[in-house]
Amino acid sequence: MVKIKWSKDSLEDLKEICRYIALDSPYYANLLNDRIFEMVEHLELFPEMGRYVPESDDPAVRELIYKNYRIVYQIKEGYLEIIAVLHGSRLLKLTTLSP
């Protein structure tokens, strides 16, 4: 079982997405937040279940897709780190990806 860590930036990404959705529907904002955390929990047992991130040459950088959102993570020694949560229409900045 792999330990999961959330970067400060990824948590802020998710908060901003949920704040925006909550302007129209607090219910759906909470639902999205819960579903994303549920998907990430699956990574504890299956850390390589996500696909490779096309913007990265690093095979340790992967992503899960939930509806229109990308949950980008990096497999590291002994744990994995969620490094970004973003809408699929937005570009992933490669500077977000750390070695």
pTM value is 0.88
pLDDT tens profile 46-60: 999 999 998 888 999
Q: Identify the CA nearest to 94 among candidates 35, 54, 51, 47.
A: 54
pLDDT tens profile 16-31: 999 999 999 999 999 9
Q: Where are the domains of the chain?
A: 3-89
- pLDDT tier at 92 (50, 70, 90 boundaries)? confident
- pLDDT tier at 14 (50, 70, 90 boundaries)? very high
Please give the single-letter amino acid code of residue 89.
S
Angle at 29 between CA 90 and CA 23, to 5 degrees: 85
The structural architecture, per CATH, of the domain 3-89 is 2-Layer Sandwich (3.30)
